[in-house]
Structure formats: C-alpha cells, structure tokens
Structure 1
Amino acid sequence: MHQAAGSIIRPGWRRAGALALLGATLLAARPSRAADAPDPAAGRAIAESGVLTGHVGCSACHLMNGAGQPDVGIPRLAGFTAAYLEQQLGFFATDKRASIWMAPYARMLTPKQIQDVAAYYAGLPEPPSVESDPAGDALRARGKEVFQKGNMSKGVMPCGGCHGPAGQGMGTFAPHLAGQSAPYLLEQLRHWHQGRQRDPMGKMMATEAHAMTDSDMQAVASYLQSLPAPGAGGAK
C-alpha cells in the first residue's frame, strides 16, 4: 500500500517532532525557581496582618523589626537564619514543639507562607542589645565564664562550643543567641533542666542543662542578652 504524496512523514521529521514535544513537556513540568523562591514581601504582610481575618500577625508579639519583647520573655527573631525559623515553625505546626501560643498560628500557615515569613524575619537587621544594668555585672561575668569555659566540675560543657564564641550560632544545629531575651532563655534552660526536650533537636540541650545550677542558668541568660549582634562590636 502506498501513501499519498501529501501524507508522507519522513522518519527524521517524526523524530524531531517527538523530541520537540518531549522538551516542551519537560519545560512545563519543571518547577519555576522564581515561583518557589522565598518572598520576604509576602512574609512582611503575614508578620503585619496574619493570614486569617480576626487574627493578629506575628508582629503583635515579635514586632515588625523582629526585636521581640525582652522584658516579658518574647524572643527576638531578627538575626536567626531563615532555615532555623522555618524548622521551628514546622515543629510548631506539626506539634513536634509544644506551645499554646505558637502552635495555633503556625498551623494557619502553608509551607510556602512559613518560608516567606522566615525569609522576612531573617532578612532584618538585628536590633541593638538591651541596655545592661551595672548591678548585674557580676552575674554577667559568671555567665561569660560558663558560656566560654563551661563548669567542668559539674559536667557542663562550654556553650560557645556549639553556639559560637560570640553567640552567633551554627545554622539550624545551634541557633544564634546573642542579644536574645534573658527571661526567654532562662525559661528554655529551665525546661531543658527539667528534662523536657522541647523539640526533636533538644536532646543535647536537655542533657547539657540538666547539669547546670539555676544560678548559672540565670547568669548565662543575662550574659547572652547583653551581647551585641556579631560584627557590631564583638562580645562583651
């Protein structure tokens, strides 16, 4: 049987058409990097207004500049890496980290919204450290000693071994602590001291804090709050 002249499809043309179709299909299926990239502007809107009508945004507690409220133990977010903030929001959203305050808000966010708000807060300049009361100089000096040298007689390792000599942290493994709220830090240390792991990353901290005295926990928290942001004058 012979094909009509107008309907002849040469093998080379068939192969080229198939390759073109395959290429178009792959391009359509490939995710757009631009679409998946964090959007700090969208994160700012979430921080300011939240995602549901009638609910406040993150800034109601952590403020738009990410400074938190040190006097009442609400942590600073500016200065943390986006990866760490994403990780912790994910823990709250999946009940791997318990909090009557944070869990409900984290559950409202999609994974993309978590990524966006983390990018917003991570991109903020870190606010100045809280002014230190001279009356607490001795306490902070003890905190500096424990942070840098540990308390080997009690089996407490130097905190700076993981969190960095200036409290700058190590990504998601050991978060940035310089300038963090002393009441917040003390609360976390006391929870770990009591054996609470807090989140899947907390086993090491529970072991470490278990050996600390309460006075040393207070001292370390006070010292860390007094530290400036890395690159803004160094550790005190």
Structure 2
Amino acid sequence: MTLLGLTLLAAQPSRAADTPDPAAGRTIAESGVLTGHVGCSACHLMNGAGQPDVGIPRLAGFSAAYLEQQLGFFASDKRSNSWMAPYARMLTQKQMQDVAAYYASLPEPPPAENDPASDTVRARGKEIFQKGDMPHGVMPCGGCHGPAGQGMGSFAPHLAGQSAPYLLEQLRQWQQGKDRDPMGKMMVTETHAMADADMQAVAAYLQSLPAPDTGATK
C-alpha cells in the first residue's frame, strides 16, 4: 500500500469506536459517569423495569434509537425535565449510545401485578387504543404504536407494559398543549379531544400488556 493509502486509512474513524457497547452501558446504568452521582439504575433499576407505583418509566423493551434520541433531547433541553436533564448532560454521545444499547438489550419485565384498574376500564382502554373514538376525533393509538404496543423505532415508542401513572402523566401534559419534545406535536393533536377517563383507561390497558414478540431486533 502506498504512503498516501496508509495515511487515508489512518485518518478514517474506527468502526469499533462507533459501535454501541452494552457492557459499558451497564456500567453507566449501575454507577453513573461522575463520582458522587448515582447511575440510571437508581430510578429505572438495573433490569429497566422502572418503578410503576411512582410513575418512573420502564426502559427495557424500548429501541436503542428511541432511548438515545430522548437522552439527546434531555441534554439539549429540547425535552424539559428537571431530573433527567442534569444526568443526560453528563453523558457523551457515545455514552448515550452505550446506555441506550444496554437497556434496549434487556428482556422486558412482566406487567405490574398490583394494577388497581378494573377489567371494564382496561376494556375501554383497549377499544380506544385499537379503534379510537372517531365521533370525537380520537384516532386509534395502535396506528402509530403498533397493534401490540410494540412501537416503531424512534418515531413511536414501545408502550406495552409501561407504567400507567407515567403514561397518564404524559397524556395529560400533551392534552394541556405541552409538546414535551420535538416529536410531541402530533401527540398534542391526538390527545386534545380525549376524555380524562379514556386517558386513564388507555394507560391501564397498556400497562397490562405483555411484551410483544419483537424477535432479536430491538
């Protein structure tokens, strides 16, 4: 190889350096990246189950693309959250990729067993999720989030098994006109005509769903 060829080869970025490392992400989840600061697991747990009873969302089962995107939104203040923003700002882009890859690699935990919602409420939530409420201008949620709540990459997140209190909080914020992040404008439109009881029902239904079979691809 010529000297020019060797120079050009040396100047190319390493593919390995750009490959997300779930093992490194696990360390970030467990210990954080700065001394004296806890890792992601302090709230979201090492298994990514979150804490449904206090509205801390599950991360296991989300796509790595979605998790990395949201960390970027927190770090740049495109998504406002007084808890998440400081932690996201500690991370480099590579560290965001790594921790997103770690949580995306985890099996989704089973649905919460202490769901107080009734079968009637969950049935109403299923109806709204699958069919919408067309007379009132409410579109079916499954049109974007998938019939089993499996989501669509970074466009529409995986919702099956998510914390009902967390989901309800987000739905109410969108209905109040809060974009939440650059992807949220569509949700503001989708929720404007939803009754609060229907938002509670959809949240309860989604929390009750098992993890969809997504195969090996996250």
Structure-2 change in CA distance of 1:179 and 1:202 (3 Å): same
**What is the RMSD computed on CA atoms of the aligned residues?**
1.2
Counterpart secondary structure, 1:201: coil
Counterpart secondary structure, 1:80: coil
Map Cα deviations across residues 81-116 of structure 1 (whole Å, 9 max, x no partner).
000000000000000000000000000001110011
- Partner in structure 2 of residue 193 of structure 1: 175
TM norm structure 2: 0.96
Please, which of 55, 74, 77 is the counterpart of residue 56 of structure 2? 74
Identity rate of aligned residues, in percent? 83
Give distance in 2, aligned partners of 1:20 and 1:122. Answer: 43
CA drift at 1:135:
5.7
- Partner in structure 2 of residue 219 of structure 1: 201
Structure-2 change in CA distance of 1:183 and 1:134 (3 Å): closer
> Would you say how many aligned residue pairs link Structure 1 and Structure 2?
214
Counterpart secondary structure, 2:89: helix
Q: Decide whether the 8 Å contact of 1:160 with 1:166 is kept in 2.
A: yes
Point out 4+ residue stretches in structure 1 off by more than 4 angstroms.
Answer: 132-135
CA drift at 1:231:
2.3
Give distance in 2, aligned partners of 1:135 and 1:221. Answer: 10
Q: Decide whether the 8 Å contact of 1:132 with 1:226 is kept in 2.
A: no
Letter of the 2:104 counterpart: A
Q: Which runs of 5 or more structure 1 residues have no equivalent in the other structure?
A: 1-18
Q: Which runs of 5 or more structure 2 residues have no equivalent in the other structure?
A: none
Please, which of 118, 121, 133 is the counterpart of residue 151 of structure 1? 133
- Partner in structure 2 of residue 5 of structure 1: none
* Residue 165 (structure 1) aligned with residue 147 (structure 2): yes
Structure-2 change in CA distance of 1:25 and 1:204 (3 Å): same
Letter of the 1:87 counterpart: Q
Structure-2 change in CA distance of 1:145 and 1:96 (3 Å): same
Map Cα deviations across residues 49-89 of structure 1 (whole Å, 9 max, x no partner).
00111100000000000000000000000000000000000
Map Cα deviations across residues 164-184 of structure 1 (whole Å, 9 max, x no partner).
000000111110000000000
